Structure 1
Amino acid sequence: MLHSIQEWTIQHAQQTEHVDWFMALPELMAFIAIVILRGLTKVPSLRDCWSANLGNPQIIGTMTQNRFQDIMRHLRFDDRSTRSERAKTDKFAAISSVWGSFVTNCITSYNPGLHITVDEQLFPSKTRCCFLQYIASKPDKFGIKFWVACDLKSKYICNVLPYLGKDPSRPSGERLFENVVMRLMEPFLDKGRNVTTDNFFTSLSLAQQLLSQKTTILGTVNKIRREIPQSTRQIIALFT
């Protein structure tokens, strides 16, 4: 992943500005370390990270502000020359290659426990793209939505999918929430695990699909699900 990012960042910089522009792999790793440190220290602005009063000594000693901004300006996660062609069939084309490697690493690098939780996560973003979501109930209203499967105990991301709008590959008649859970859980089925969901995902048909592959489900159920008996709905109404 790092070698790919290095290659495409150098390619972009040389094509747009300097023919001799270069970034060594340790320098890229230092850049990523600063990004992580900025998130941990929550310094108000980029300039403050290098200021005498608010600056982080580790950041100041790692890279100059000008070099950090130079790398950030050219940072790329794909081959720019082929993106327009790939974007015709892949909405995530600008990052899909590195993203695919990241997800594969998540799946293969950790053996989750018996309990996995599936939920949605909105990552704040101001990017203009066709799959940007607006969710009024979230603290940050705009962002890119991801479906995430996490190990209950360690909170490790076991599998993750971006929500890119209508998926033409989803089988006709299969409901979105069922498709999401089955895709996220696919690498972890037939092992006697349990998946926990909220009422967006939980349904009888999903439970049956999971059970057929030696996986159980625990989750709240939306009272409007069509498989809930009328007698049960009447009981629910008494307590709501």
Structure 2
Amino acid sequence: MNVQEALALLNRLSKAESDGGEVSGLSDVSWVCSASDGSSDNDPEPPRNVRLSHHDPPLADEPTVPAHAEVCATEPLPAQEIGKDGTVWTVMEPCGGAGRRQIQNILTESAGPTPHARHNITDKLTAFMCLCDNVMLEEIRDCTIAEARRDRATWDVAIMELKAFIALLYVRGAYCGKNIEMESFWSEQWGNAFFNATLSRNRFREIMRYLRFDKKETRRCRLTTDKFTHVRKVWDRFVENSIASYRPGSDITVDEQLFPTKSRCPFTQYMPNKPYKFGIKFWLAADVDSKYMLNGFPYLGTQRLGENVVLRLVEPFVGKGRNITTDNFFTSLPLAKALLAKNTSLVGTIKRNKRELPPSVQGRSELFSTKVLKSEKMVLSVYQCKPRRNVTILSMQHQHVAISTERKKKPETVEYYNHSKVGVDVLDQMARQYSVARVDGPLLFFI
């Protein structure tokens, strides 16, 4: 059959179908179909059945499909909420589930003293010298001598005397003697024998009077670019030694600390919620397990705050699968994404008026109830802790949020935050307890 014959046959079939008559020559159509598959007349395989129109009834060996089976049933989509900036949040059911830990939550190095510290520490003195090394002591000695020789040309102090002076400050702090008159520690009746054996009272007074951490001759020039120049060299060296001597565990806390002082200072802060209302504010990063200060710098009133503070503090410790815990002053979605790019997770309370949060965080729910939402790798827990107040926690540490069985039904994220937020708070309490700095005086000795 050539092309013309095939076209004529198709025309006859279409006309017969419209007239409702019999169709002849169907075997020819079967032959055409089989021939088009590359088979020959001698092929033992029977020709395939052909339906000429979708209106025709099914052939004998063609399965019948119910009409309702053509419509695919789908599961209802989970509820979603959208923040003001377009962030999409999917509502999840609170549930427990260990699951597989994500890569940003797998710690890849052990915590504890670094090889540098283990190599140099043999006793308590060498442990102290890892943090307050000879470079710092020599800088303090040179600046102290320069200040003293403005009045007394031949005055001098040795490194050993400076170590003895610092030792007496530590002993006074260990005895919680910051509210005890310093002179009484050399009293023959009520004093401590260690003070008399270490350094004379008059010599201690002299070192205290002239103690400085920078040279006054060049201070005016340096103040134009750095308000913290009075102790900048000593402080930066102390922070470098702190980073080089210890590796933190899986959790790091970032928070503020107010170092109490009422001395004349252009960046003194007033914070009414602190035990001491006036002081110098420091941003600190601390290890949660050991309460070790890892990094820190002062707030001078000119730095960019928020995520910039956190990223600067934790920069030496990212990329190892650690978690950073912050309060609502720092926590945001841009910070979480920036840390995630550095293989680090974030857990922290977040302000409810953030544009990236869904509108439901502003409402109230049943007391002790928890609502869980998820966006990419971030989980948001909204816990109604009080009738008129809820706690909103952003976490990249959790993919499933379990609810405790106690009366208050706290979610897992809240319990984790309470555990990992205490690093800087405990460090601040210890500093207040053992510090010997004078709150109302010019001395700022916080090593």
Which TM-score band applies after superposition, normalised by the shorter structure?
over 0.9
The 2-side partners of 1:165 and 1:117 are apart by 22
Structure with bigger helix share is 1
The structure showing larger relative contact order (alpha-carbon pairs under 8 Å, at least 6 residues apart) is 2
The runs of 5 or more residues in structure 1 that have no matched partner are 171-175
Match of 2:302 in 1: 166
Counterpart check, 1:196 vs 2:196: no
1:232 Cα deviation from its structure 2 partner = 2.3
CA shift for structure 1 position 60: 2.0
1:20 maps to a residue whose letter is T
Cα distance in 1 between the residues matched to 2:306 and 2:286: 16
**Alignment correspondent of 2:146:** 11
- Cα distance between partner residues in 1 of 2:222 and 2:190: 43
Q: Does 1:70 align with 2:206?
A: yes
Q: 1:228 aligns with which of 348, 353, 357?
A: 357
The Cα RMSD (Å) is: 1.4
What displacement does 1:66 show? 1.1
> What CA distance in whole angstroms lies between the structure 1 residues aligned with 2:274 and 2:353?
23
Distance 2:251 2:193 in 1: 41
| Alignment counterpart, residue 133 of structure 1, candidates 255, 263, 269 | 269
Distance in 2 (CA, whole Å) between partners of 1:61 and 1:224 is 61
Pair member with larger Rg: 2
Residue 82 of structure 1 is matched in structure 2 by 218
Larger CA deviation: 23-32 vs 193-202: 193-202
User: Partners in 2 of 1:233 and 1:206 — Cα distance?
Assistant: 22
Q: Secondary structure at the match of 1:100?
A: helix
Moved more, 91-100 or 217-226: 217-226
2:336 aligned to which of 198, 207, 216: 207
Structure 1 residue 24 corresponds to structure 2 residue 158 = yes
Instruction: State how 1:97-112 maps to structure 2 within 5 Å.
Output: 97-112=233-248
Residue of structure 2 in register with 1:118 after alignment: 254
Could you tell me the TM-score, scaled by structure 2's length?
A: 0.50
Q: Quote the Cα distance in structure 2 between the aligned partners of 1:200 and 1:48.
A: 44
Q: Which moved more, 1:52-61 or 1:187-196?
A: 52-61
Does residue 57 of the first structure (1) align with residue 193 of the second (2)? yes
Higher mean displacement: 40-49 or 128-137: 40-49
Deviations 1:137-188 (A, max 9, x none): 1111111110000011111111001011012xx4xxxxx1211101001111
Q: Which runs of 5+ in 2 are unaligned?
A: 1-135, 365-381, 390-447
Cα deviation for residue 104 of structure 1 reads: 0.9
Q: Report the 3-state secondary structure (helix = DSSP H, G, I; strand = E; otherwise coil) of the residue aligned with 1:123.
A: strand
Letter in 1 for 2:254: V
Distance 2:338 2:265 in 1: 34
Q: Secondary structure of 1:121's match?
A: strand
The alignment partner of 1:42 has SS state of coil
Counterpart in the other structure of 1:180:
309
CA distance in 1, matches of 2:174, 2:160: 21
Distance 1:234 1:228 in 2: 12
Evaluate the alpha carbon distance shift between residue 224 and residue 49 of structure 1 in structure 2; reply closer, same or farther with a 3 A threshold: farther
Aligned length: 232
What TM-score, normalized to structure 1?
0.92
The amino acid of 1:27's aligned partner reads E
